[in-house]
Amino acid sequence: MVFASSLANHPAMRKQFLILLFFPIALLFPGLAMQAKAQAPAIDTVAVSILDRMSAMIGDLHSCSVSIRANYDINSRDLGLVKHSDEQELYLHGPNKLFVRSDGDKGSRNFYYDGDTLSYYSIDKNQYGQIDVPSTIVGMIDTVNKLYGIEFPVADFFYPSFVDDILSDATRLAYLGVTKVNGKECYHIAGSAKDKTFQFWIADDAYCLPQKLVIVYTARPGSPQYEAVMDNWQVNPDLPDAMFTFMVPPKAQKIKLMHFHGQKLTSNKP
């Protein structure tokens, strides 16, 4: 995957260019200019530049691995927002291999993607399910999320359209300066959209990889949050193909993964 985005290609940046191009018209019609200024999103080009560089670095990777500690809110009818957590290990070999191990409040689970099939394995229950999926990581993630409600940690960072998607949705985007995450200096970027606010912490080093993500879903009851801290990035490691191939454990029971109907990863016995 190659992230081929630039400031000149972003809709928000083109909009700013057009405002400069027709500046004399704005002088003749000041009311129109004020209205356009009020409607235009406040996009910080420094923030865009940092995100572009991060996306380009990720897009140039042949393989990578990262550890993720995630905290997220689930709305309880009786208790309100309840905090949950997971620890995950992600191993990726582009363009069509992915392995994710997840331990936490949702149980111990493994996901294996070999370019043709996604295999889900519940370590706690010794159960597994398999589905045919598209032949690219992005295509697979899109398909299983829409059809089965399966979500992969920090998946958005691996999309070629990551920066463009942010700019098309954001009403504000700002670079807030340099701060630290786990002792590492990071660029701090914050933004907002109609239904959420978000923050990114991007490493201030040669690789410029993401270190932390926070999303607040402001349009949902109670404004639940999702937070992920990324650590131990490995760049272009040698990952064996066997890592992404699922082998059925002894006495494991096969289940059928059901389509998404409001709950994540529903299943049924065949």
Residues 88 and 96: their CA atoms lie apart, in Å, by 19
191 pLDDT above the threshold of 90:
yes
Residues 266 and 148: their CA atoms lie apart, in Å, by 8
Residues contacting 83, CB < 8 A, separation 6+: 71, 72, 73
* 121-167 residue pLDDT tens: 999 999 999 999 999 999 999 999 999 988 888 999 999 999 999 99
- Beta strand 63-76 pairing with 127-132: unpaired
Distances (CA, A) of 181 to 46, 84, 162: 20, 21, 22
141, amino acid identity: I
Q: In degrees rounded to 5, what are phi and psi of residue 170?
A: -75, 140
35 pLDDT above the threshold of 60:
no
Q: Mean per-residue pLDDT for 71-76? A: 93
Q: Is 217 exposed, middle or buried (0-12, 13-18, 19+ CB in 10 A)?
A: middle
Alpha-carbon radius of gyration of the chain? 21
pLDDT of residue 204: 97
39 pLDDT above the threshold of 70:
no
pLDDT of residue 225: 96
32 pLDDT above the threshold of 80:
no
pLDDT of residue 260: 64
Domains annotated for the chain, with CATH where assigned, are 51-268 (2.50.20.10)
Least confident range from 25-29, 49-53, 179-183: namely 25-29
Q: Mean per-residue pLDDT for 177-206? A: 97
| Average model confidence (pLDDT) across the chain | 85
pLDDT of residue 166: 95
Least confident range from 3-7, 181-185, 214-218: namely 3-7
Residues 112 and 116: their CA atoms lie apart, in Å, by 10
% of the chain residues with pLDDT over 70: 81
pLDDT of residue 24: 41
Local confidence band at 257 (pLDDT 50, 70, 90 cut-offs): confident
Yes or no: say if 186 and 212 are a contact pair by the CB < 8 Å rule.
Answer: yes
Two tokens, residue 175? 């670079």
41 pLDDT above the threshold of 90:
no
pLDDT of residue 258: 83
Two tokens, residue 200? 């990114």
First CA to last CA across the chain, in angstroms?
A: 36
* 195-251 residue pLDDT tens: 999 999 999 999 999 999 999 999 999 999 999 999 999 999 999 999 999 999 999
Q: Mean per-residue pLDDT for 248-265? A: 78
pLDDT of residue 40: 55
Any idea which residue has 């990262």 for tokens? Answer: 66
Local confidence band at 261 (pLDDT 50, 70, 90 cut-offs): low
Q: What is the 3-state secondary structure (H, E, C) of the chain?
A: CCCCCCHHHCHHHHHHHHHHHCHHHHHHCHHHHHHHHHHCCEECHHHHHHHHHHHHHHHCCCEEEEEEEEEEEEEECCCEEEEEEEEEEEEEECCCEEEEEEEECCCCEEEEECCCEEEEEECCCCEEEEEECCCCHHHHHHHHHHHHCCCCCCHHHHCCCHHHHHHHHEEEEEEEEEEEECCEEEEEEEEEECCCEEEEEEECCCCCCEEEEEEECCCCCCCCEEEEEEEEEEECCCCCHHHHCCCCCCCCEECEECCCCCCCCCEECC
